[in-house]
Amino acid sequence: MKRYFVYMMSNKSRRLYLGMTSDLAQRVLRHKNKRFQNSFTARYNFDMLVFYEEWSQVVSAIEREKEIKKWRREKKVALVIAENPDWADLSLEWQDDPGWKLEPEARPRIRPKKTK
């Protein structure tokens, strides 16, 4: 089953970039290595994964990305803080855990979604 991710990258000044992908590990690696040359993400050094959600349907992921993009910054920050209060780079767990490798075929562990 294909998986889709809505994610937020940040930098040291806590600026936010929101995106959607079907391969989160590869996309984060591209951000960290600045493979999007001359882009907003490379210019502002978005190198920390601070938030992500998993979706099973691409349409749902696209809708969620659009929904969050309409939000004011304060609401986006609140979403990050609710899941990641320390603004830790969530992709570092892939490097620290010997069972995970940050390679194109690697998949991140998904935190269970909170039910409301």
pLDDT averaged per 10 residues in sequence order, the chain, 116 residues: 93 93 90 74 84 95 97 97 94 67 46 46
The C-alpha angle 38, 61, 82, rounded to 5 degrees, equals 85
The CATH homologous superfamily to which domain 4-96 belongs is: GIY-YIG endonuclease (3.40.1440.10)
pLDDT at 102 (0 to 100): 41
Query: From CA 86, how far away is CA 100, in angstroms rounded?
Result: 22
